[in-house]
Structure 1
Amino acid sequence: MDEEQRAILLESATRFPTPEGVKLSYGTSGFRADASILSSTVFRVGILAALRSLKTQSVIGLMITASHNEVSDNGIKIADPSGGMLTQEWEPFADTLANAIDAQDLVRLIVEFAKKENIPFGGVHSAQVLLGRDTRPSGESLMEAARQGINSIVGAVAIDMGVLTTPQLHWMVRGRNKGMKASEPDYYEQLSNSFGCLMDLIPKEMAALAMDEKLTVDGANGVGGEKLEELKKLLNGLVIQVRNDGKEGGVLNEGVGADYVQKEKVVPCSFGPNDVGLRCASLDGDADRLVYFHVLSKSNNKIDLVDGDKILSLFALYIKEQLGILTKKEDEEVNNDYRVRLGVVQTAYANGASTDYLKHLGLEVIFTHTGVKYLHEKAAEYDIGIYFEANGHGTILFSEHFVCWLEAKKNELASISTDLEMQKAALRLLAVSNLINQAVGDALSGLLLVEAILRHMGWSIQKWSELYQDLPSRQLKVKVADRTAVITANAETVVVKPPGLQEAINAETAKYPQGRSFIRPSGTEDVIRVYAEASTQESADSLAKSVAQHVDHFLGFGSS
């Protein structure tokens, strides 16, 4: 790094002093905090994104959003060349950069890191960073801070993509690094075309059923509602009414949105007695989460929640069915020597009933640590990897090798096979690979895939909800002196330290039919999270309380 570059960094960094007494950490969702203290962090992440672009010689994304947080919050995260999360190897440097005490310290850290990573300055490749933001009022000023951070790296280019959903930005980064056209209109075109293909391939006997039912969507008063209004103009065969689109004075994520509906299990604002029995869905604030629900009664605000576990189960059932058709042995002219690896990835928070259902289907189910980055990484090991968290964040990954095989299979079937169902199965799987956002969880693409599959099956939301009955569960938090005293293994399901705690949990769990419980330390605060499920709600509540008491005994402020 030459002296001119150092001087530019030093001068620009002095305009963004760090707030006193604030220490931030880069998590799965990047940095998040009250928007009033984020300018310096966003500026520095702009620098980080430019460095990442130089290092990888790729387009990088930078999204300003706080997803399901309240409107006064905001945040920033980086999309890597694949369109996925920032590599975990760079997360410690992100923390160090955000918490540098002043401009001189910041420049020193950048110089040291650039040297260690062999980041090329002033070469033939310039940095290119796509910028996106959601609808939060603070987004515009933070966008400017990010732009100044990017521009403080000589040759770096910041491209303002405007107001977007988080998944749209990730999709654009992935697409551009694959050499594709990847603008917002291209996103809508790909989703609508793929959805149309799936609709055209619905069996005639199912298409004749009453699947003209309207879908009513809660937009969380965020960017998702606005973008869904644009997308629905291109869709045939699907009637969508968007509520809480942010234009009627509603507050972002306040009494609305996927996070609220999933946690509280009540109707969001603007929904009520007139919606009983109708198929409804909720997006979160930046439209990377999706849950479905239907209102149960005119007399109260209770819902039947169809969460991420059931979205995963629906997707897995459909894909397994299509693979079964595609790889059947009846047509001896067709080469079926390729064994497709289909895997389903969950965390310990997945309801035990969903795991049992998936295993009953004969699917391979794998568990990872909590956090989308872990799920995504594991899903990428399969030809088709499906992952979802109960909160509604998830997607389907198709390996490039499998997609190439599928294209070849489609062409082979078209030329030699008389089995139309096999041809249709190949076309359906290809359409799913184009419809689903393989960069990151995407509420809009996920919603279209759900709707296409429900029509294919001829199912109502009630029929879908009856796939299995969730086991009652309870989650609690226990404040502790030091959360790092808990060390877990086996995807956070077993406590390794402190000694004796897992044995105490096992003893409590054994008292309850279908009992299951685990604990894990929070990633951001000194609390231990307790999860429990059992055959009845009373039992789940009791088990969670008992385990929480053991945690407090071993780790609480009164323990020695």
Structure 2
Amino acid sequence: MGRLFGTDGVRGRANVDLTPELALAVAVAAAHTLAESDRSHPPLAVVGRDPRASGEMLEAAVVAGLTSAGANVVRVGVLPTPAVAFLTAEAKADLGVMLSASHNPMPDNGVKLFAAGGHKLPDDLEIRIEDAVEANATTAWERPTGAGIGRVHDLLDGADHYVQHLIGTVPHRLEGIKVVVDCANGAAAEVAPVAYREAGAEVVAINADPDGLNINDACGSNHIEALREAVVAHGAHLGIAHDGDADRCVAVDANGDEVDGDQIMAIIALAMREAGTLTGDTLVATVMSNLGLRLAMSAEGIRLVETKVGDRYVLEELRASGLALGGEQSGHIVLPAYATTGDGVLTGLHLMARMAQTGRSLAELAGVMTKLPQVLINVPVGDRTVGAGAPDVLAEVERAETELGDTGRVLLRPSGTEPLVRVMVEAETEQTARAVAERIATRVRAASPAA
């Protein structure tokens, strides 16, 4: 069996790659793996989902798997991924399950797992779950019967509990801030507008009417065109876009110009340092972050630690080093004092709080960082490993790195969730970055043509 887990859970096209049978098997394996240390009581699992249609089917399979393994289940319904992590910790559950493919198109779905405390799984636990899934395909396991079968309960006020938690973290009320929030027709449709309003902002919500089919469809953090237009049309101070499961936050300023995760991290880092809460004056980011972030933080006396791509690697570094802020350019921002994972709504609240506190516009705050021109090409491939590791591809990367020298950089990596190889190039000019990136992308396509 190949690895089931990518950078963020088990993903695939629902009912094709990610079948109910696989979801059930992963749930059983997770229950046995994550709750095996204490069998003095039945394991407890929290299960949530985003609103995509296939989530109903997969939720049924996951709940069946968990209860068949003797776990009691609390269903929380449609909620953001960070809300499920929060409720997993609050309930002192043994594990949490979120059914979502995040920013991916509607036909996809995923199974994201949280350990006790609402923390994402380290690699070794994922491997143990994968091994258990494979073993269960051929080996019977002892099934509970009678009173040993798990029970299912629905939590009806999970959204309210989560929103109140978020509001309690805000360092400054948001009165005077007008925001347009793009909910991606996803899991943030209910909680994001409510949280922002209750924190004091004037809110215009768009793409907040999920029907199970329209999640991430030309909206949300990967498609901010409608948000740009709405911010200008409504005369708002800013716009905030979430993805399908609301663990991301990107923004646009009053002019409609994008403010990405790197810039948001820079803004929040300076706010936290001023408040004395930026532990070790250190920010954690991934290798995908723009070189401009490192330069800006260095100028401000803030150290930048880099990790592999994936917010769970940022989380691991934050926990291991006891640090207070980290994230990704894509908008996964982690504030460990308040959340165990990236939380888009939490990030939006703290970004607006900084605006309200300083009286400065988002464009002015984001000006602390100058982004180096960066070009990212997502190349569809038949095989991610071949596309990223072919000799011709590696030779082209080496040639590009020699050309750019200290004035830029190249990052080539296979996606952990999609059949793509990501080619990222930074250079002094966009023209140079695009030319180099296209050259490498051409080699990748030739090495492993998409099916």
Number of the residue aligned with 2:239: 280
Superposition pairs of residues 116-515 of structure 1, within 5 angstroms: 123-153=39-69, 155-177=70-92, 183-195=158-170, 198-199=171-172, 212-232=176-196, 234-235=198-199, 237-246=200-209, 251-261=214-224, 266-268=225-227, 271=230, 274-275=233-234, 278-294=237-253, 296=255, 303-323=256-276, 340-397=279-336, 433=337, 436-437=338-339, 439-477=340-378, 483-484=384-385, 503-510=398-405, 514-515=407-408
Instruction: Provide the C-alpha distance between the structure 1 equivalents of 2:348 and 2:77, rounded to a whole number of angstroms.
Output: 23
Number of the residue aligned with 1:516: 409
Instruction: Provide the C-alpha distance between the structure 1 equivalents of 2:212 and 2:42, rounded to a whole number of angstroms.
Output: 43
Does the 8 A contact of 1:486 with 1:520 survive in 2?
Answer: no
Paired AA for residue 186 in structure 1: H
Instruction: Provide the C-alpha distance between the structure 2 equivalents of 1:190 and 1:380, rounded to a whole number of angstroms.
Output: 21
TM-score of the superposition, structure 2-length normalised? 0.75
Deviation string, structure 1 residues 447-469 (Cα, Å, up to 9, x no partner): 11111111122211221232222
TM-superposed CA distance for 1:309, in Å, is 0.3
* Residue 32, structure 1, aligned to residue 11, structure 2: yes
What are the ranges of 5 or more consecutive residues in structure 1 without an aligned counterpart?
1-21, 58-122, 201-206, 297-302, 327-339, 398-432, 489-494
Paired AA for residue 224 in structure 1: A
Instruction: Provide the C-alpha distance between the structure 2 equivalents of 1:218 and 1:480, rounded to a whole number of angstroms.
Output: 31
TM-superposed CA distance for 1:312, in Å, is 0.6
Number of the residue aligned with 2:109: none
Number of the residue aligned with 1:14: none
TM-superposed CA distance for 1:268, in Å, is 4.0
Q: Residues 462 and 248 (structure 1 numbering): CA distance in 2 closer, same or farther, change over 3 Å? A: farther
Paired AA for residue 166 in structure 2: L
Structure showing greater relative contact order (alpha-carbon pairs closer than 8 Å, 6 or more residues apart):
2
Number of the residue aligned with 2:447: 556
TM-superposed CA distance for 1:166, in Å, is 1.0
Instruction: Provide the C-alpha distance between the structure 2 equivalents of 1:54 and 1:473, rounded to a whole number of angstroms.
Output: 44
Number of the residue aligned with 1:62: none
Instruction: Provide the C-alpha distance between the structure 2 equivalents of 1:534 and 1:255, rounded to a whole number of angstroms.
Output: 29
Paired AA for residue 172 in structure 1: L
Q: Residues 541 and 392 (structure 1 numbering): CA distance in 2 closer, same or farther, change over 3 Å? A: same
Deviates more, 1:212-221 or 1:542-551: 542-551
Counterpart of 1:544 in 2: which secondary structure?
helix
Does the 8 A contact of 2:184 with 2:243 survive in 1?
Answer: yes
TM-superposed CA distance for 1:523, in Å, is 3.6
Paired AA for residue 262 in structure 2: D
Cα-Cα RMSD: 3.5
Counterpart among 399, 411, 427 of residue 534 in structure 1: 427
Q: Residues 243 and 499 (structure 1 numbering): CA distance in 2 closer, same or farther, change over 3 Å? A: closer
Does the 8 A contact of 1:222 with 1:285 survive in 2?
Answer: yes
Q: Residues 545 and 143 (structure 1 numbering): CA distance in 2 closer, same or farther, change over 3 Å? A: closer
Deviation string, structure 1 residues 327-383 (Cα, Å, up to 9, x no partner): xxxxxxxxxxxxx52421222211111121012111121111111121111122333
TM-score of the superposition, structure 1-length normalised? 0.62
Paired AA for residue 219 in structure 2: V
TM-superposed CA distance for 1:480, in Å, is 6.9
Q: Residues 347 and 530 (structure 1 numbering): CA distance in 2 closer, same or farther, change over 3 Å? A: same
How many equivalent pairs are there? 387
Paired AA for residue 125 in structure 1: H
Deviation string, structure 1 residues 411-432 (Cα, Å, up to 9, x no partner): xxxxxxxxxxxxxxxxxxxxxx
Paired AA for residue 90 in structure 2: G
Q: Residues 316 and 273 (structure 1 numbering): CA distance in 2 closer, same or farther, change over 3 Å? A: closer
Does the 8 A contact of 2:387 with 2:448 survive in 1?
Answer: no
Does the 8 A contact of 2:163 with 2:191 survive in 1?
Answer: no
Counterpart of 2:6 in 1: which secondary structure?
coil
Deviates more, 1:501-510 or 1:131-140: 501-510
TM-superposed CA distance for 1:225, in Å, is 1.9
Taking only the aligned residue pairs, the percentage that are identical comes to 26
Q: Residues 452 and 526 (structure 1 numbering): CA distance in 2 closer, same or farther, change over 3 Å? A: closer
Which structure: larger Rg?
1
